[in-house]
Amino acid sequence: MITMVAALNAGLRRAMENDPKVLVMGEDVGRLGGVFRVTDALQKDFGAHRVIDTPLAESGIVGTAFGMALRGYRPICEIQFDGFVFPAFDQIVSQLAKIHYRTAGAVRAPVTIRIPFGGGMGAVEHHSESPEAYFAHTPGLRVIAPSTPADAFVMIQQAVTLDDPVIFLEPKRRYWEKGPVDLFAAPALPPDRARITRAGADATVVAYGAMVAVALEAAEIADAEGNSLEVIDLRCLAPIDFDTVEQSVRRTGRLVVVHEAPVSFGLGAEIAARIGERCFGVLRAPVLRVGGFDTPYPPSRLESHYLPDADRILDAVDRVLI
């Protein structure tokens, strides 16, 4: 049993051992080991030429990584907090995401951008954002969001081997929760495949990142009340594994989608629309979404009211089961 931080550290270490072209760069990733200590001791073991402390300039970090990728490297950038990624937004969506299409497939940009995301930590402004919809909406980017230490260990390695740019979202409030990790097992799933984490018969609940644990908590409560919920961990947000979601909904006839980000124009809307198209004939109730409110992320004293919890999920479940 190890924490997600330890699992990510082990995954980064394995990726660097497997490929000398893999390097890590970002603010304080070297000597300090990262603000969350995800890169702890990597500079000591691999050297400052492969674990690079950068200036505090996210656009410069990603732009430099892009140039290095064009020269054959596989950079892994760390963005310290989710809200700090926006200075690099132009580099990501205008350069990284488009270079493969722009060059008719001749050029790839294998850059992995690690972003701690989401709330639940009582942090100040710009430290608890959910920017996934911006990136999932951008053609040319893959967006990955593990929810467990085991997936974090495997999926960071898978992300580095992909030839596409990857936005790797790490649910920061799960960083210190422990889970089983097999450091030697082969990956059980490709990085773009969802996982059914709990089987059920009455309704499907889809979540990702930190919300998976909340959905599982809701499923436990529902079970005690006589309702069986199937919980799906998306794992990958672009592309989304709609086939797994569709197969589940065809069994249960109902769907609730959960995420921390505001409900309006979020990933839940896309999932609801796609499943509405695919499963129109079997849905027994409208697809419902549970998410944050249409406000900026609130001060820490109010975040417990903002973040979806088991009660809000169960309220939606009750509405689809009527």
What residues act catalytically?
127
Phi/psi for 163 (5° steps) reads -85, -5
Structure token digits, residue 38? 């995800």
Give how far Cα 13 sits from Cα of 39, 62, 153, 206, 249, Å.
9, 21, 10, 31, 39
∠ CA 297-308-3 to the nearest 5 degrees? 90
What whole-number distance in Å separates Cα of residue 190 and Cα of residue 187? 7
Residue carrying the six token digits 């995301």: 117
What whole-number distance in Å separates Cα of residue 51 and Cα of residue 254? 47
- On the question of a cis peptide bond just before residue 239, with omega within 30 degrees of 0, the verdict is yes
Cα dihedral 260, 118, 94, 70, rounded to 10, equals: -130
Stated as kind and residue range, the H or E segment containing 22 is strand 22-26
Give how far Cα 235 sits from Cα of 50, 189, 191, 251, Å.
28, 10, 7, 21
Please name the residue ranges forming H helices in the chain. Answer: 4-18, 42-46, 58-70, 89-90, 99-102, 132-136, 149-161, 211-224, 242-252, 267-278, 303-306, 310-321
Structure token digits, residue 64? 């430099």
Amino acid at 280: F
Amino acid at 72: G
